[in-house]
A and B are shown apart, each in its own frame.
Chain A
């Protein structure tokens, strides 16, 4: 006789609308299948933790000027190498007296910048190369895949080093170098997927409707390759962050005084025995973000992998 069991007005109707088996419009169908994927992802606790960390990172990057207590570039030589929690500097100060927390907060922008640029360039380049090679086959396949093999044969960081050395040090060139070394695995995956898709009946069927190769590749093959690429990208993010940090550490990525996390570790290295936190704090940041991407990638794989019957 009480309110138990009476649903909140509006809410269940909305849920039902999203969970229906008989969508009534294109938008409805898309929304419903997205909601299904979201429910699958939501049930994965670890993936949600990863997503949470990444949302937090994005917010921190967005509000960096408001959140950071100090100017990340302001030096205070009288106040250098302060320990954790000392005198208003929650994470201490570095060798030039700059507040480490502020530098970490501003560094998140650089990290996100690198990660999103590489995540845009490399998979798209790999997708184009891989699907064209796989679908067209023959000659173009051989040429494109041998080029891919050449790129794959180099150790990643060494190739990136060579590119940066040729292009000049700097964050944009580091992004370019990492992207150039990151695309071949995507091309491989996309080609393998394409090879298994292109002989299938639904591709034959659309060919019989007179569709050309461009339409088949972009509208029929790409949607099936993209999900495995998204998964691979999120799993690779950690590697990309580490490569960027590695380039920064070697002095070939972000240049001082930029608060890039790898460069911060590199600066802290000189003091690592007496003042461990200077190198450790950016290291922890890199670790956390890499872990978050890995967790999210693992969850996304469960949602997106077409071989498990997951639907986008």
Chain B
């Protein structure tokens, strides 16, 4: 299987008295070609799972498998080629002194591609940025354009698995929709597997087929999006989460109606 399989994953930060258990005994599986959402409130350990998966957090134990590789303490070059990540804040995920061209060329170079010129233009086209953006610096780009560059960077090595860490939460609403549509299109075109972290249930129900609900570092419920839309949770926390999201909207509707 070349999706993701995580069994009994524990992730912690610091040692001794300061130790914080960010993820406790988490188990989840993502089918190849599917899109999986991780939801939960802030600090519930959603992003930490992604960071442990990519090797950015070395303090973990348990079993992790991604894109056909069983993961150890170090990630191989082939892992970096197959698994890529898009970060939450496009204002922080691009080097302030590197132009779009530099970012993409360096990434392609690191993965050993030779036809860099052609690939850079193709990547920019794929994410909906024209050639005029190629030599701009991040400060000359809007938030949505930056996130497109970050997506292009993640797509550069032609990965099979894309980890999305709240890819739209730093963007305003109209741009959010553009980016989500782009991600949906890319997934169908390239047959990608998505693991998406979000606290926005609307985004997750738009993008994903299955979701895992997390609370305090634990996966409290795994469910399909149909179940979530039908508001049929098995756990009280999930119900609470759904109600708070939907309830807020009903309130809004009611106020708008008055």
Contacts and interface: CB of A to CB of B under 8 A. Distances in A.
Interface of A: 21-26, 28-29, 33, 200-202, 204-211, 219-220, 223-224, 306, 309, 311-312
Contacts of B95: 202, 206, 220, 224
Interface string B138-172: 01100000000010010011000000000000000
B235 to A, nearest CB: 32
B24 interface: no
Interface residues of B, number: 36
B215 to A, nearest CB: 25
B135 A309 contact: no
Q: What does DSSP make chain B's interface, helix, strand, loop or mixed?
A: loop
Contacts of A224: 95-97
Interface in B21-68: 54-56
20 contacts: A21-B136, A23-B135, A26-B99, A28-B135, A29-B101, A29-B135, A29-B137, A201-B88, A201-B93, A202-B94, A204-B56, A206-B106, A206-B107, A207-B55, A208-B80, A209-B110, A209-B153, A211-B110, A219-B106, A220-B98
Given A22-B132, A202-B95, A209-B107, A309 B139 contact: yes
A45 B161 CA distance: 54
B199 interface: no
Given A306-B96, A311-B137, 20 more contacts: A25-B135, A26-B101, A29-B137, A202-B92, A202-B94, A202-B96, A204-B93, A205-B93, A206-B95, A208-B85, A209-B107, A209-B110, A209-B111, A209-B157, A211-B110, A220-B95, A220-B98, A223-B97, A311-B97, A311-B139
Nearest to B94: A202
A26 to B, nearest CB: 6
A271 B236 CA distance: 93
Nearest to B163: A208
B135 A26 contact: yes
B101 A210 contact: no
Contacts of A209: 80, 106-107, 110-111, 153, 156-157
Nearest to B99: A29
A87 to B, nearest CB: 58
Contacts of A21: 136, 140
